[in-house]
Amino acid sequence: MLFDFLQKQGAPQELAELIVELGRAVEEISGTIIHESTGKAGTKNSFGEEQIAMDVEADKIMARYLSTNPYVAAYCSEEMDAIGKGTPGGIYSVFHDPIDGSSLFDVNFAVGTIIGIYEGAEVLGRTPREQVAALYAVYGPRTTLMVSVGQGVHEFLLTAEGWELQEEALEMKGDKKYFAPGNLRATAERPDYLELVNWYIKEKYTLRYSGGMVPDVNHMFKKGSGVFIYPGMPSAPEGKLRILYECGPMAYLMEQAGGASSNGEVSILDVKITGLTQRSPIYLGTPEEVKRVESFLKQ
């Protein structure tokens, strides 16, 4: 089902096969999540963040699929210190956040996996616009997969029979007033952000914020409306979210659905990739909402 759909979308056979494999990895992570301990792993990732057992487990699952896939030349994740070598002759590099929102795991909120795929083994000096596909999985009450190979964004649902198409061609065209203001702490350092948040309150926007980028942005996709913001602040100008593992794939999907992405100046898709640990402020949502954030946050 997933393979045929991707081929109909014009994905080359190798890319479609790779995404089907990633779908299997997601299925395995989904099965593991249900029983995994919520405890800490006792280790830190390359960003110095404490890892939970599920971060390590999901990263291992992804590495097992990626390191053995004939089409993968290189791969890396938020949890890895260096690029992993794929198969000689591989054609794609894959960047992922195996469990996004790990700090929400012990309270049983939804978490996700984010994946971006590039052609070639080298990404430095390139931009996220060069991704050939991006996907994310949401592990909520159900497991869903949002995928794009450059022909719109489509949602699949994990069923007993595998991935079933749930919603085709999602579009960010609505005008419902949803806002997801990440890094609200920044309002203490940024009066412009405080002003924007107060504007949303005054305009009676509905708050939809769980603290997990994947479910929070997924809400925007499913409703076709709204805006997700994770700004920087003077003490952390680049914010928290990472270009390769989080911002790039989410921005690719958002723009494929007719939405917009921004780092405050340009589309996230046009930010030059300078390092594996590069972070960026990010705004994602309908073009109108993203423009509004850009005009408020001038600092």
Q: Pick one of ligand F6P, Mg ion, none as the site partner of residue 211 (Cβ within 5 to 8 A by kind).
A: ligand F6P
| Closest to 7 (Cα-Cα) out of 195, 149, 122 | 149
Choose between 90 and 219: whose C-beta lies nearer to ligand F6P.
Answer: 219
| Closest to 144 (Cα-Cα) out of 167, 174, 121, 117 | 167
CB count within 10 Å of CB 109 equals 15
- In angstroms, the CA 98 to CA 212 distance is 13
Check residue 106 for interaction with ligand F6P (CB under 6 A).
no
Check residue 213 for interaction with ligand F6P (CB under 6 A).
yes
Q: What's the closest the beta carbon of residue 42 comes to ligand F6P, in angstroms?
A: 19
**Contact code string over 155-194 relative to ligand F6P, x by CB under 6 A:** ---------------------------xx-----------
The one segment of 15-23, 54-62, 211-219, 272-280 that binds ligand F6P by CB under 6 A:
211-219
- In angstroms, the CA 172 to CA 193 distance is 23
Exactly one of 23, 212, 248, 259 binds ligand F6P (CB under 6 A); that residue is 212
Binding residues for ligand F6P, rule CB under 6 A, total 10
Exactly one of 57, 59, 100, 155 binds Mg ion (CB under 5 A); that residue is 100
Q: What's the closest the beta carbon of residue 95 comes to ligand F6P, in angstroms?
A: 14
Choose between 13 and 38: whose C-beta lies nearer to ligand F6P.
Answer: 38
**Strands, E assignment, 121-258:** 131-139, 143-148, 154-159, 162-167, 178-181, 206-207, 227-230
Containing 113, the helix (H) or strand (E) segment is strand 111-119
Output the six-digit token pair for 135: 């996907």
Choose between 95 and 200: whose C-beta lies nearer to Mg ion.
Answer: 95
The Cα-based distances of 139 to 60, 77, 203, 252 in angstroms read 17, 18, 32, 20
Exactly one of 31, 39, 191, 211 binds ligand F6P (CB under 6 A); that residue is 211
Q: How many CA atoms lie within 13 A of 116 on its CB side?
A: 27
Check residue 224 for interaction with ligand F6P (CB under 6 A).
no
- For ligand F6P, the binding residues in 232-251 under the rule CB under 6 A are 240-241
| Closest to 282 (Cα-Cα) out of 158, 181, 169 | 181
Residues that bind Mg ion (CB under 5 A): 97, 100
